[in-house]
Structure 1
């Protein structure tokens, strides 16, 4: 399935970052955590080569999930991007092409389905 696939997980709620990261690792993903958009951008620039990027949309630090998605689309076009938010889809700006939205709260099984 997804064994060995590198996944950047961006979530500012630390308990959720750990919970989701552990669950994804248990299913075979190589998870690289980031606690905000600033750290995520640094990981993208320093490490690169991610197969998947899962990011919260609203985070502190001035870099949103939308910013991360735009950066990934510009530099790592093969990566599958999933943006998550507690806001309703209608409350958000349009998603960039090729980006999937997953509403919070979500089940790990829902995230796995979206990741394919």
Structure 2
């Protein structure tokens, strides 16, 4: 079962999305901010997938989570989500996939399962 770290500061969105991801066959570990995500990345030795909001409280962005995820496990597939348009965001690493909010869980699962969606690393 693929291991997935889901980082989202909105607790309701985090819970509902995590349940859907688990139903789709992923082992989901949740984090409420970037600092907790970094701790989990270190404790678990990395994940197969990381989904993170870009803007979160606490001073650690989803961009930093994406970098930490790749350090913990090279080849980790990372989806960064945001309510901001991609043009309003800083340059995103080529290795991540961007998904705008609001999104449907079906879209997210489609990205996770579509090999063509992933940039070559």
State the TM-score, normalizing by the size of structure 1.
0.94
Task: Structure 2 unaligned segments of length 5 or more: list them.
Answer: 114-121
Aligned equivalents of 1:23, 1:71: Cα separation in 2: 25
Report how many aligned residue pairs link the two structures.
Answer: 113
Structure 2 residue 89 is matched with structure 1 residue 92: yes
**Runs of 4+ with deviation above 4 angstroms:** none
Question: What does residue 117 of structure 2 align with?
Answer: none
Alignment pair present for 1:82 and 2:108: no
RMSD: 0.8
Could you tell me the TM-score, scaled by structure 2's length?
A: 0.90
Q: 2:65 maps to what in 1?
A: 68
Match of 1:56 in 2: 53
Counterpart position of 1:115: 112
Aligned to 2:118: none
Query: How big is the shift at 1:53?
Result: 0.1
